[in-house]
Amino acid sequence: MWATAADRLRRGRRTPPVRVLLPPALVVALVAACSQGSFDRTASDTASTLLGAAATLEFVHAGKATVPYGRAAFVEYGSRLDGVADELATLPGAPPRAEAQGLVALVRAATAVVDDPCLDRTCDWQRQQRILESAGRALLAASGGQGGG
Amino acid sequence: MTTPGEWPGAEKGIRGALLVRDILDGQLETRDHRKVGRVADVAAVRDPDGTVRAVELRIGPEALAGRISPRLRPLVAKVLRGRFDHRIPVTEIAEVGPTIRLRGLSDDYAVGQAEDWVARHILRWIPGSGRPASSPLRERY
Amino acid sequence: MRIVTAVLLGVLTSTGGFLDAGSISTAASAGATFGLSLIWPIVVGTLAIILLVEMSGRLAAVSGKAYSEALRERFGFAFYLLPLSADVISNGFLLAAELGGVSIGLALLTGLDWHTVLPVSALLVFAMVWRAPFGLIEDLPSILGLSALLFVVAIVVQPPSGDILQALAPKVPGSGSAQYLYLVAAILGATMSPYLVYFYSSGAREDRWSRRSLRINRMTAVLGNGFGSLSAIGILVACSVVLQPRGITADSLSEVGLSLAAPFGQLGAIGFGLILFACCFGAALEVSLAVAYDISQGFGWEWGEEKKPVEAARFNLVLIIYIAVAFTLAFVIGDPLQLALFASALIALILPVALAPFLILMNDADYLRDQRNGVLTNLATIAVVILAFVVAAASLALLLLTGGGR
């Protein structure tokens, strides 16, 4: 005689609670894995952000994007660049020290531009665009990516 | 004591298995069309003649824990002390169909009170939570 | 005439509701990185979601049961727990991404910092699910989301240099193959998101669909998702034309907007802000409701948007908690585009668990009676489930290999 349906259905079969624990465990492992950086990955991501910032600057001044758009976009770019200059040279796969330091200097200069972009005609936006593009292309080359434009 | 033959949808010969399968995980609905949970487990006895008779519906986390693993049920029982588990005699079943219709109103069963508790203690403080359909219990808020 | 109006509305809302942060992010990354060569998973994913949505609508209309209800009743609690837990976790990340997308959309329109706008976005989503009637939840963001068809117009204004039809043939590139395959999995995960199934079948119950609704269901599923996928393809092509030549790989949502600003100027930039807001807002409503439906229906609680919050108290409590958790995730993790990519890949992992039950349910006479799957539909469903298993297996390996696709 069995007491409950659960007992009867479970007779001869163990149902470990692993099926409940599996998805959260998987997520923790995945998040940990995705948190690992490498030089190539970080450099190409940063290059894309800097080239995107350069294009945004160009578009705003060419009248193709609004100033509010530009302002909000640079806030997003700034979030993406947060901490990159500090960790770039020490990431797995980073180039030799001298080259890495050169890239870090370019990233710092570009980050300063992103933190204070010139979205009106009172400042030299083209100089800023040059800083962003040269940093972006240098990072792209260092990561083994292919530049465009 | 009632027998499975009295339940709507029951068939001779395989009464016990059909009844449990139809009821387990079924949606419980009261006479006033309120959903009060799902059947987590069914307690049954086997008569001397071999007929399996369901006697009680079990609802709540302790019963559900038992469905996952036998080791979980005592642990959940220790933590929750049966506060959220409820039992409904099968005599309360009026009809078995797309839902398991109970004979009483939602206020007649303890299992329906969790909904009221959340409404009364948590949601009522948020603007726009609304007043439910009239009921002596619900008129409190 | 009423049927024509109902069908039209269904098609419009499905078209406008197709895009979300996941599909925008994956399509943009795909186009900006690999040009036209990733259109084919969008097409494959669209065919699959048409099938899944049609089946979930048919299940609800004929059996009177939403998908979660049928899952619990047919397969039992222990089985139901697996897709439930996977659903809750993956959609948590996705909802966080959608809230981020809403915020960035509003920020691009106003010039504000999106972090400041994030609480406003969460409150807006909450206000809609708290008190808006289901019809408004279904229709308003989706009608606004039709603006995404601007991406289709962009293809005409600035056509790609390559042949779109030729690019439909799958071809793994020599370099960057891991990232290519990762994006294939992420696109399929974003397009075949199970939350759509949960939301659509529950919506069919909210709208009290019956056998008379089967034709509306079919047309909505086919035409709505078909037209909707054109927007996703439009994003991919636009990003391949504008971003790829500049070396921009669409790592942030603001970069994606440049693909519309290039052909349309300020109208395009403003349009992108509106598209992002509308699509992510609609998706945020659907994702949060899908999880609340899943939990409430599975546990047998009162549920429904047509009820006052106190009449479906635990359903609404789940909504509140879930939106709060997603808001916290969005605030702490930030970077909505990366969140969306990660969520899409995670969803790809759980696809088999979420979709395999269809094979049994849609052939169960107790539920579907004379509307069970035919042979062709069953074969298509088997193909979709096999695809889901392949994508899931590949997604896990690729997530680890690429560290989240980057």
Which 91-130 residues of chain B touch chain A by CB within 8 A?
Answer: none
Residue A123 located in a structural domain: yes
CB contact under 8 A, C85 and A23: yes
Residue A81 located in a structural domain: yes
Residue A32 located in a structural domain: no
Residue B13 located in a structural domain: yes
Of A76, A75, A58, which is closest to residue A125 (Cα–Cα)?
A: A58
| pLDDT bracket for residue C243 (50, 70, 90) | very high
Scan for tokens 């506060």, then name that residue: B83
CB contact under 8 A, B44 and A6: no
pLDDT of residue B137: 41
What is the DSSP code (8-state) at residue B48? T
Nearest residue in chain A measured CA to CA from B40: A6
Whole-angstrom distance, CA of residue A65 vs CA of residue A52: 13
Q: Among A4, A31, A34, which would you mutate to test the C interface (most chain C Cβ atoms within 10 Å of its Cβ)? A: A34
pLDDT of residue C1: 63
Residue B93 located in a structural domain: yes
Mean pLDDT over the full length of chain A: 82
If phi > 0 it is left, if psi is from -120 to 50 it is alpha, else beta; for residue A103 that is: alpha
Residue A27 located in a structural domain: no
| pLDDT bracket for residue B11 (50, 70, 90) | very low
Whole-angstrom distance, CA of residue C242 vs CA of residue C340: 22
If phi > 0 it is left, if psi is from -120 to 50 it is alpha, else beta; for residue C265 that is: left
Q: Sign of the CA dihedral B81, B83, B85, B88?
A: positive
* Distances, alpha carbon C138 to alpha carbons A67, C236, C284, C286, in Å: 33, 26, 12, 8
- C5-36 pLDDT tens trace: 777 777 767 776 789 998 999 999 999 999 99
CATH of residue B57: 2.30.30.240
Residues of B in contact with C311 (CB under 8 A): 119, 130, 132-133
Quick one: chain C helix, strand, coil %, rounded to 5? 85, 0, 15
Mean pLDDT over the full length of chain C: 90
The amino acid at C50: I
Q: What is the largest CA-CA distance in chain B?
A: 59
Long-range residue pairs from B2-11, CB within 8 A, at least 24 positions apart, any chain: B2/B53, B2/B90, B2/B91, B3/B51, B3/B53, B4/B51, B4/B52, B4/B53, B4/B54, B7/B90, B7/B93, B7/B96, B8/B95, B8/B96, B8/B97, B9/B96, B9/B97
Q: Which domain holds residue B67?
A: 4-105
Residue B111 located in a structural domain: no
Scan for tokens 């399968």, then name that residue: B21
Q: How many residues does chain A have?
A: 149
Distance of CA C270 to the CA centre of its chain: 23
Of A12, A21, A7, which is closest to residue B67 (Cα–Cα)?
A: A7
What is the complex's ipTM, to 2 decimals? 0.89
Smallest Cα distance from C34 to chain B, Å: 45
Which residues touch C400 (CB under 8 Å, ≥6 apart)?
A30, A33
Smallest Cα distance from B6 to chain C, Å: 22
Residue B132 located in a structural domain: no
pLDDT of residue A148: 42
| pLDDT bracket for residue A70 (50, 70, 90) | very high
Q: Does an H or E element contain C268, and which?
A: helix C266-299
Q: Which domain holds residue A44?
A: 39-143
The amino acid at C13: T
Domains assigned to chain C: 2-165+174-402 (1.20.1740.10)
pLDDT of residue A27: 55
Residue B78 located in a structural domain: yes
Residue B73 located in a structural domain: yes
Instruction: Give me the number of domains chain B comprises.
Output: 1
In a 13 Å sphere around the CA of C261, the CA atoms on its Cβ side amount to 29
Residue B116 located in a structural domain: no
Residue A71 located in a structural domain: yes
The pTM assigned to this predicted structure is 0.89
Q: How many residues does chain B have?
A: 141
Residues of B in contact with A9 (CB under 8 A): 67
Residue B48 located in a structural domain: yes
Which residues touch C268 (CB under 8 Å, ≥6 apart)?
A64, C150, C154, C257, C260, C261, C262
CB contact under 8 A, C300 and B124: no
Contact C296, C314 (CB under 8 A): yes
Instruction: Give me the number of domains chain A comprises.
Output: 1
Chains in contact with A via at least 3 Cβ–Cβ pairs below 8 Å = B, C
DSSP string, A66-124: -HHHHHHHHHHHHHHHTTHHHHGGGSTT---HHHHHHHHHHHHHHHHHHHS---STTS-
Contact B36, B111 (CB under 8 A): yes
Residue A24 located in a structural domain: no
Q: Following CA atoms B81, B82, B84, B88 in sequence, which dihedral angle do they give, to the nearest 10 degrees?
A: -170
Whole-angstrom distance, CA of residue B97 vs CA of residue C56: 21
Distance of CA C266 to the CA centre of its chain: 28
Average pLDDT over residues C134-163: 88
